[in-house]
Structure 1
Amino acid sequence: MADNDSDVRLAHRLTEIADALALEFFGRAPAVRYKSDGSPVSEADLAVEKALLAVVAAERPGDAVLTEESGALGTVSRRRWILDPIDGTIPFLAGERGWGTHVALEVEGELRTAVLSRPTERTTWWAVRGQGAFTSVRGEPLSAARPLRIPAAASLPLEAARVGGFLMPDSPVEPVRGRMRWVESSVCLVGDLLEGRVEAVIDEGGHVWDRAPAALLVREAGGRVDDLRGGSGLDERWLVYAADGVADELTGLLHDVGA
């Protein structure tokens, strides 16, 4: 494991800072406003983002940054940090557990490091390109991390597969959810895939900052990432994370329903 790598350690430190600050606001009804697309942004989101940007500016002053609330920052660089200060603002504001921080580092367009957290569970999932995916308990050293490997599902028919997703209103997936064992909710569906509790996750309409850590984690854990166009573009409408053996049938079904 790359616990001596400075970028990996910085990614974890950013996540720890974000988690600790967000927990100070959690359950305390922070002030909220609504963006042009109708999604909420709270004072907690903004405070966490400000803290993360300050750390990146101090530690990696030449790096570019992409964040959910501020967009693209910095000059053009071969290195870019992708930050979602509080992924899951809606459950965060509702006092639910399905929220956390997303941090990823991209170098020359290639994802190299990713960290995804769920602070209420004291759990972090993280990956380093070419070195694997892992899960850690908050407060333990990275050397104690547990390796992750998504179980293969070569003989599992789609109707028996456990699938969850983030779907838009009137999604074309809604009428066909009965063709699989649909998982309605979870603290972290991507974490469930990484740990073998589901076989696939469908992401409709997500953004780069939502998806970047998950994409690297799933690949490094031996899973598939598919944008339905034969690639894995983080800015496409659809992204499917799946165990090998389920991915082809699931993406085929999505094509059939017009996704």
Structure 2
Amino acid sequence: MNTPIPPSLCPDDHVALALRLADAARTVTRSYFRQPVTVFDKADASPVTVADREAEAAMRELIERTAPDHGIYGEEYGAVRTDAEWVWVLDPVDGTKAFITGKPSFGTLIALLHKGVPVLGIIDQPILDERWLGVSGRPSTLNGRPIRVRPCPDLSLAALYATAPEMFTGTDATAWEALRSSVKLPRYGADCYAYGLLAAGYVDLVVEASLQPYDYLPLVAIIEGAGGLLTDWRGGRLGLRSDGRVIAAGDKAAHAATMAVLAKAGGGH
């Protein structure tokens, strides 16, 4: 039986606010999907659209109005009050390249950190009308129904996702190739949706690199609440200062085996 979540860990009003944030972003992203939109290149050459900016602005306005003492760490408009007890981490459109090419694998990602620890996470896919919710101490849900990871103790049986091979560079690329060669079904191109599929028991591993905190922190509570693990490549807990390399696994044995393959190939430094 799951122990009821302590009110001080993630109060119900914070969960309600998170759902309102997802609704606000969904209204924006739906209105721009598969519509002519101008694409801008950021300093790192990654694309951004008016949908990214308006969706984050809508969420930030709601936080400032509802919980002005909370911090915010967002992809498009930066960070404020990140030393606060509660900090929201926002990625309005995770998978912008998918969004601008009309592929519904993007999602809005929302995390809530309590003293630096992720205690709530949302993946919202507005086109497919799918929403994953994770709250520490509770079972994770997909559209309100509890979900669970699946067992996969042997890497040779695993389905593995990463967004794109170019996210791995140097020794990480060598390590990724070793892992990709060890599994049954390596796939690319699902963005945050792959983590939702893992939490729901359809995928066994998601291994990525070159991520930012808003890419991975919203996923922690979802995957853990479904019985899985989400760590860095050395098995450490994820936070705002992690190095951007992550392993999501539904099975502890698969997670351990993945770390071993990556480390042996030079990617566990």
TM-score by length of 2: 0.87
Indicate conservation of the 8 Å contact 2:160/2:203, yes or no: yes
Structure 1 residue 65: Cα displacement: 0.2
Which shows bigger deviation, 161-170 or 76-85? 161-170
Change (3 A) 1:157 1:75: closer
Cα distance between partner residues in 2 of 1:5 and 1:54: 20
**Which residue is equivalent to 1:186?**
190
**Which residue is equivalent to 1:158?**
155
Change (3 A) 1:238 1:63: same
**Which residue is equivalent to 1:104?**
111
Aligned pair count reads 249
Structural mapping, 1:39-54, within 5 Å: 39-54=46-61
Indicate conservation of the 8 Å contact 2:38/2:50, yes or no: yes
Structure 1 residue 232: Cα displacement: 2.1
TM-score by length of 1: 0.90
Structural mapping, 1:4-83, within 5 Å: 5-74=12-81, 76-83=83-90
Q: What amino acid maps onto 1:28 in structure 2?
A: Q
Cα distance between partner residues in 1 of 2:72 and 2:237: 21
4+ residue segments displaced more than 6 Å: 1-4
Cα distance between partner residues in 1 of 2:72 and 2:259: 32
Q: Look up the SS of the partner of 1:72 in the other structure.
A: strand
Q: Look up the SS of the partner of 1:120 in the other structure.
A: coil
Q: Look up the SS of the partner of 2:16 in the other structure.
A: helix
Q: What amino acid maps onto 2:201 in structure 1?
A: G
Cα distance between partner residues in 1 of 2:168 and 2:248: 20
Indicate conservation of the 8 Å contact 2:234/2:259, yes or no: no
Change (3 A) 1:63 1:215: same
Q: Deviations over 1:13-61 (max 9, x none)?
A: 1001101111111111212211111101111111111111110000001
Change (3 A) 1:176 1:223: closer
**Which residue is equivalent to 1:177?**
180
Structure 1 residue 245: Cα displacement: 2.0
Cα distance between partner residues in 2 of 1:6 and 1:55: 13
Which shows bigger deviation, 186-195 or 30-39? 186-195
Q: Look up the SS of the partner of 1:246 in the other structure.
A: helix
Q: Look up the SS of the partner of 2:48 in the other structure.
A: strand
Cα distance between partner residues in 1 of 2:60 and 2:84: 16
Q: For 2:261, which of 248, 253, 259 is the aligned residue?
A: 253
Change (3 A) 1:240 1:105: same
Indicate the percent of aligned positions where both proteins have the same amino acid.
Answer: 27
Cα distance between partner residues in 1 of 2:116 and 2:231: 17
Q: Look up the SS of the partner of 1:245 in the other structure.
A: helix
Structure 1 residue 225: Cα displacement: 1.8
Give unpaired runs (5+ residues) of structure 2: none
Q: What amino acid maps onto 1:239 in structure 2?
A: V
Cα distance between partner residues in 1 of 2:129 and 2:216: 21
Q: Look up the SS of the partner of 2:99 in the other structure.
A: helix
Indicate conservation of the 8 Å contact 2:110/2:123, yes or no: yes
Give unpaired runs (5+ residues) of structure 1: 137-144
Q: For 2:215, which of 210, 228, 247 is the aligned residue?
A: 210
Cα distance between partner residues in 2 of 1:212 and 1:230: 15
Indicate conservation of the 8 Å contact 2:133/2:140, yes or no: yes
Q: Deviations over 1:86-134 (max 9, x none)?
A: 1111110111111110111111112121111111110000111111211
Structure 1 residue 151: Cα displacement: 2.0
Cα distance between partner residues in 2 of 1:198 and 1:37: 30
Indicate conservation of the 8 Å contact 1:232/1:239, yes or no: no
